[in-house]
Structure 1
């Protein structure tokens, strides 16, 4: 009876120590997986548990050291308890049925260690780990008070082990990190968005919007502007009467030019013209009605362009290139289109900037930005000194294109692709030309036969 009680007591002690191991494992994974922003919101709302948990996440490295110390000590204790209390007890019981003592003790030791290992793995490691990953916030909040007490009581010991590891890292010329970075870089966010879209957790439209938001801060006025060849303008010496005829085509704002095509002296707005109702418009010069132009450099990031427009309480800016010439104009609508895609109003020709999806190919306007091409194909494009798919074609042909010209573009290999996989290749064919540059192009995945086409120039990324 005493032997049976000893075995049962050993089992209870192993289970109790395993519960402690599970406690430290839950600490380790719970505080690593918890969303700090959610904890901060709860703490601001007055949740004491969230506030304590948030304080612990600010000492992630120290907390991990404490959890590892607890896991190591409890793991050693299980082995120390299981063999004498359970193994020897089983050996005694086996000896009572005629099993030799040495054999009985060996069998008992193996069974005790096997039992302790299974219990430790399932209930001390895997279960608390999966629980903490599945419900990190409730686990972190529930363990916050006890974790804080544990770190305070054994902080000196944890500090000693921490300092020993720091000295070892410095001896290897590695700078130790005292907290685990939870912030995500833009590249991390892009990867998260791609994975969420591919898994179906994020709708296609929302993932595209988030992609554009991440790209927005890196885009410049040059990327969003209406280029100069497509900009209507008016001379400062023109009469307002003639200006009305120009504005009848759908323009509500126009840059006003002085001496030459690059001399921007102001901007004329439709509402300023409408304010002249009742007066002789043919007797008034545009220079007398125009307002000061908002001028921005072509390299200015879009958030800064938006800030300047807001400060000027305007919706229209003239973009100036590095030589001081007029590169184009940018409006609030153009900036909004960088976030939400093409916005068509009653003045835009129907379907002018829309991509047409065919059977394995895409017909797109030449002005389509490279970023939008990447989203359309769900694949990276080669980097180069161009903004649009039209610019890519011209850069690779090294001349102005003609209808029917084509290039074969070898695209960057996706990360994680096997070495034996063929490089992805894209065929870009010029369909129509306007102002000597591609107006529409057709995109299609290239096969092996395309490389032999005499009209296709092969381009490598």
Structure 2
């Protein structure tokens, strides 16, 4: 086509061409806005609004009624696409006759896919927060005009889906807030934005409401306590040689806890004038014990520790029998990991072997093993790794007996009476499908 012919063509068809270009740009605007406002970070928008960003408040208002917003944007997008396609078809019919329909369909499909869908959505998804803030005011005005139509369309859709037993709830997330946070942290960890230690700490905070004291307490079998009827010099030596600041005091049997002895209280008593260690009455120094149910959640117990300004509690079951002890440090360690000082006894209970297997003490908590090795062994039915083997095998295994479950091979290395004290764990091979 010559220059004169091009000018003549534009002079005749420029209204249609301008209209098509404008409608394609409108379609791109609606597509990009829909993507950006759907993918926008609510927490980021909340922060920007708190910092005085007016547009962030508009975005928040828009996404609060997401169904109305998306419905309005889809209406605008489809209207722009249909009108631009109709104008292009009319234009091509005038230029090419009956073959213009096919040519217009092909041309508009390419133009709309590239310039009205892929390009704006790719742009919006790369910077959703910025894109949403930029288009917020224009989208708000459009939703104010088309919003009632969108609500009417949504009502029709809900009624139709209800006929098939599908009920759409308004703005109710399928995930709880904790699950959304956990999923976001895990995803960021996989992408490399959050290191494993930070992921574990955040996960520990989120788990506090789901775990009970029975999951983390020091069991009565491992509990170190003081016999109130022992000679005073034995009591003093036991407390001073212990790595623990507080120890339970019992009389008659370990089920009869009569107090909690703090090492500082003992030192104060010994430092008093005319104090005679051989005449020391440890029961008078001991503080009153605090008994808590083993079903108490860690979140509730942490709040109780802070509220009462105490650090130590005795855990009992529904019958009042002593099950163990729990400290404020035990709960904090669920968040930040092991807290060790110069007096702690370093008993990890986990050893890496040269062949790649892991030798584990039976009393090692499953949660600690998962956290240390980034495993995903279930801890709903058992607290320790030995308890998991007994639960899965539904028996008390013999030494050298092996089991395969959860993609791991568990080999019983040592058993004392009915207790599994040492296990070897290695990745399961394909031909290992059960006990051996």
Give the TM-score normalised by structure 2.
Answer: 0.88
| C-alpha distance in 1 between matches for 2:356 and 2:23 | 62
- Confirm whether residue 314 of structure 1 aligns to residue 310 of structure 2: yes
C-alpha displacement of 1:444? 0.9
Aligned residues: 426
Aligned to 1:68: 74
Note the 1:252-331 alignment, pairs <5 A: 252-276=245-269, 277-278=271-272, 279-331=275-327
- What is the CA-CA distance between 1:350 and the residue it aligns to? 3.4
Q: 1:101 — aligned with what?
A: none
Distance, in Å, in 2 between the alignment partners of 1:410 and 1:260 is: 40
Which of these residues, 14, 17, 25, is aligned with residue 11 of structure 1? Answer: 17
Aligned to 2:377: 381
In the alignment, which of 202, 207, 218 is matched to residue 210 of structure 1? 202
Q: Cα–Cα, structure 1 residues 36 and 182, in superposed 2: closer, same or farther, change >3 Å?
A: farther
1:364 corresponds to? 360
Indicate how the Cα distance of structure 1 residues 396 and 32 shifts in structure 2: closer, same or farther if over 3 A, else same. closer
Residues 344 and 367 (structure 1), Cα distance of their counterparts in 2 relative to 1, 3 Å cut: farther
After superposition, the Cα gap between the structure-2 partners of 1:382 and 1:350, relative to the gap in structure 1 and judged at 3 Å, is closer
| Partners of 1:397 and 1:407 within 8 A in 2 | no
After TM superposition, give the deviation of residue 160 of structure 1 in Å: 2.7
Match of 1:457 in 2: 435
After TM superposition, give the deviation of residue 78 of structure 1 in Å.
1.0
Deviation of 1:4 after TM superposition, in Å, equals: 4.0
Matched, 1:146 2:138: yes
The Cα of 1:188 is off from its aligned counterpart by 4.8
Deviation at 1:33, TM superposition (A): 0.5
Query: Shift of the alpha carbon at 1:312?
Result: 2.3
Contact in 1 for aligned 2:227/2:235 (Cα 8 Å): no
State the alpha-carbon separation in 1 of the partners of residues 305 and 77 from structure 2: 59
Kindly report the root-mean-square deviation, in angstroms, between the aligned alpha carbons of the 2 structures. 2.7
Checking the alignment, whether the CA contact within 8 Å between 1:14 and 1:116 is kept in structure 2 is no
- Cα drift, residue 192 of structure 1: 4.3
Q: Contact 2:249–2:260 at 8 Å: present in 1 too?
A: yes
Residues 15 and 119, structure 1, Cα contact 8 Å, conserved in 2: no
**Does structure 1 residue 430 correspond to structure 2 residue 389?**
no
Using structure 1 for the length normalisation, give the TM-score: 0.83
For 1:108, the equivalent position in structure 2 comes to: 100
Shift of 1:294: 1.9
Displacement after TM superposition at 1:198 (Å): 3.8
> Given the superposition, is the C-alpha separation of residues 436 and 113 from structure 1 closer, same or farther in structure 2, using an over 3 Å criterion?
closer
Deviation sequence 1:346-401 (CA, Å, 0-9, x none): 33333443443543211222222223334456454356642111112344566655
Aligned in 2, Cα 1:188/1:365: closer, same or farther, shift over 3 Å? Answer: farther
Contact (CA 8 Å) 1:10, 1:81: kept in 2 or not? yes
Equivalent of residue 21 in structure 1, options 4, 22, 27: 27
Which of 228-237 and 290-299 deviates more? 228-237
What do the CA deviations read for 1:182-208 (whole angstroms, capped 9, x no partner)? 965544544444444444443233333
**Equivalent residues of 2:403, 2:409 under 8 A apart:** yes
1:55 shift after superposition: 0.7
Which of 418, 425, 434 is residue 443 of structure 1 equivalent to?
A: 425
